Amino acid sequence: MTSLYQFRYSTQQDLALLLPLTLALSDALGEWGSPSENSDGNEDQLTAMDHLEFNATCPFYRYYLCAKDNELVGFVWFGQSDNDRSEGFVDGLYVKPDHRHRGIAAMLMKEALSWIRNVDCHSVILLVNPQNSSAIRLYEKIGFTRKNGLADTYAIRFT
């Protein structure tokens, strides 16, 4: 089913297209908060765009995208940890609801793990909402295990 989709690494030109997906993920996670009654919402978008621009230019981070008919439908953001370059992270995985359950998240994660392994990281860590059972099933299927008994922290080691 994923043959209908195109997968690629992001470019600077993708940032405007990536912004709505990033905001959708942030809304789901409650990261940027909701705009105040006196705000037009532009502050949240500017903060998210600044975040995207920084991540897109950092040599230690990557966005891997999924598109269908020139529309971005999913992404994963990942890279090397700032504190320990031998540890990788996945800090954002999102697929639009209409495109879920088609193997897209698995393909995005597969590429993220491949990139992280290729830059000589020995492990990957990620956080997940303990209520997000479908994401947890995906991560466990890939080989992630709960770290130190924490409900929201999963890790995988490369051998």
Strands (E) across 81-142 are located at: 87-95, 123-127
The model's pLDDT over 76-99, given as tens digits with 9 standing for 90+, comes to 999 999 999 999 999 999 999 999
pTM confidence score: 0.86
What contacts 112, CB < 8 A, 6 or more positions away?
Answer: 62, 64, 76, 78, 90
Q: Is 9 exposed, middle or buried (CB count within 10 Å of its CB: 0-12, 13-18, 19+)? A: exposed
For residues 100-124, give the mean pLDDT.
97
What pLDDT, on a 0 to 100 scale, did the predictor assign at position 44?
54
128 and 134 Cβ atoms separated by less than 8 Å: no
Domains of the chain from N-terminus onward:
2-157 (3.40.630.30)
